[in-house]
Amino acid sequence: MLCLYLNLVDKLKPKKMKQLLIVLLSLLISSSLVSQNKKVVTNVDELPRYTYEIKGNLTVFLENDFEFKKLTEKVKSNYLKDLNQFIIEDKSTLKGYYEILMYISMLDQDFEKADVYLKKLKSLEDKKSAKLVSGITTKSIIETFDNVDGFLTPEFVDKFRNIYANKITPLPWNVVQDRIKGTKGDLEIFSKKLAYGYLEGQFQKAYEKAGNISGELASLLISLKYDFTYLHPLKEERLAILNSYIENNKSEKVNIWKDREFNFSKKEKCSKVRVAIWDSGIDLKLFENQLFENQLEIVDGLDNDGNNFVDDRHGIAYTLHCEKSKDMLFPLTKVQKENYESNYILVKGLTDLNSAIDSKEASIFREKLAGLKQNEIIEFIERISLFGNYAHGTHVAGIVANGNPYVELLNSRLTFDYHAIPELITVELAQKMVKGMKECIDYFKKYKVKVVNMSWGVSLKEIEEIYELNGVGKTAEDRKKMAKEVYDILRDGLFEEIKSAPEILFVCSAGNSNNNANFEGDIPASFDLPNILAVGAVDISGKVTSFTTQGPTVKVYSNGFDVLSYIPGGKKMKMSGTSMSSPNVVNLAAKILCVNPKLKATEVKELIITNSTQDSESKINLIDPKRTMEKVMKMNKSIKVAKR
């Protein structure tokens, strides 16, 4: 404003100049006061939680425009109040605000305001693909309304088709292909039946028990209402254009990881290195020559070595309730075992759909989903979730063990809850979980583990959601308070245990929520400790994935998209997530230690970071195993690595 004043000084008479100066100074003062009165929000805990009273069944409520309008007005008022009261130092949180405000404006048919929020949302996008693609359908609808009256008239649909195609067609394939394929997959899967089955199976009972819904659930309902109102009716037009775009751009991405790969040839004289796979369990039969062996233990149902673990020949295991178990893999029921192959086909089909692969499995998945009744949706989702959890640890282990005959995998099984309504994490259970964490890390110390892979995590908001899904707490603020007590126990307990093991490098996944690990307080990705390394995900071309969590503690990135590895039983399949990028870094860390076992955890971490290459566009560190290993071998010339 002062710059504006100086530019106008020589053009105004003294009296008017004085008046302008007074106005400008008052504006500056008031602006300063507003900034001073605004609270700077640095983590999600500092934001208020909102509770909303609604009427009737959730799915019926979605169809009631009059009652739904009351909800959107309350949500809009609270969101605008937050934006006026707080300086929110997190782009992903701000994007969430502007997205919902955009949806509400669209539902109000205030397209001009919706366009303003869309521009704000896109301005906050750091990922190039997101900046190009996000909001493209909404923008096309807004522009169509600028030219045509009457939604879904033949003229409207024809105009929308042209505008949408003109926005999609020129997009750079090498940048946006994963998002476009994912959008196509989502369109093929999504339906009212799926959404309503999900709402009724996961949220309805909790809503009835609590008598209200949280701001998070309110946002979900608004998103669904917007989808059903505008996006879903244009599904076929969008699919046709996306299919055409994909068909006309079939070139594959350049795989940067092949040139960065480093594998041992079994001819080297390297040290054995013990790595703990702290995950959902390993199919031990697949890694018979790469397993940790507790020589004092026999698998006979007894604690032969007196270490308080039974049958821990190759590692340890815990149940969902943090009870010790001797099952190295989650014990499937007879029915679950019988469904294993069919579940594999369904999961592969879902993966293929998200990658725009028209496979036999993709067709089976479509047919299965289309044939389900609304009340069968949740059971179907749980089947997919169970398979993913069951296969997770083995898939991670396969990535860690790849190209390294000198690694020794120590299985440390924990149990992930696959149910749509997860079991409530009480204070007592949280304390028990911390006790289990301590026992695991003490075990790692005792048996000389050098690196631990942790492809899992939890946040405060996720614990709050578990409380809501269980219908606990009178309001969202109540749930936040209860969840915070549990969260603090887990965070502080795990932090102290990792801190107590400086000789071990803990490598964790950043998360798959496209947010900031530090703002959300993700456990353990937000931990700032010298012996922990959080890993984000890029694709085979080294470009940041749409899903990866980022933040100051996420120091390196590796391939986490369509990564091929083993699943229980011996088959291989592709999985995506920072769960896959983390073990790629563990693979490198283990190889470093095979060459130089005397390195400290902090030194291994530093070698991985400093020998990474920085992506010129996103300024992130991409691991470079080949370059790193060449550096390590120069440091330790006594190790001769055979030529490949």
Query: 215-226 and 460-469 helices cross at what angle (nearest 10)?
Result: 80
Cβ partners under 8 Å of residue 394, min gap 6: 281, 282, 283, 286, 329, 565, 566, 567, 568
Q: What is the pLDDT of residues 307-339, one digit of tens each?
A: 999 999 999 999 999 999 999 999 999 999 999
Which of 507-521, 545-559, 581-595, 606-620 comes out lowest in average pLDDT? Answer: 606-620
How far is CA 288 from each of CA 293, 330, 405, 411, 524, rounded to the nearest angstrom? Answer: 10, 19, 11, 12, 30
> Does position 185 have pLDDT exceeding 80, yes or no?
yes
Share of the chain above pLDDT 70, in %: 93
Q: Average the pLDDT over 513-534 and give the result.
A: 96
Phi, psi of 413 (to 5 degrees): -85, 130
**Distance separating alpha carbons of residues 21 and 551, to the nearest angstrom:** 43
pLDDT at 564 (0 to 100): 97
Which of 7-16, 39-48, 551-560 comes out lowest in average pLDDT? Answer: 7-16
**Distance separating alpha carbons of residues 558 and 608, to the nearest angstrom:** 11
Q: What is the pLDDT of residues 418-460, one digit of tens each?
A: 999 999 999 999 999 999 999 999 999 999 999 999 999 999 9
Q: Average the pLDDT over 236-252 and give the result.
A: 94
How far is CA 120 from each of CA 94, 99, 127, 617, rounded to the nearest angstrom? Answer: 9, 9, 15, 21
pLDDT range class, residue 56, cuts 50, 70, 90: confident
Tokens for 546, please give them: 């749409």
pLDDT range class, residue 78, cuts 50, 70, 90: very high
pLDDT at 79 (0 to 100): 97
> Does position 204 have pLDDT exceeding 60, yes or no?
yes
Phi, psi of 453 (to 5 degrees): -100, 130
Q: What is the pLDDT of residues 162-172, one digit of tens each?
A: 999 999 999 99
Residue 276: closest CA among 448, 499, 522: 448
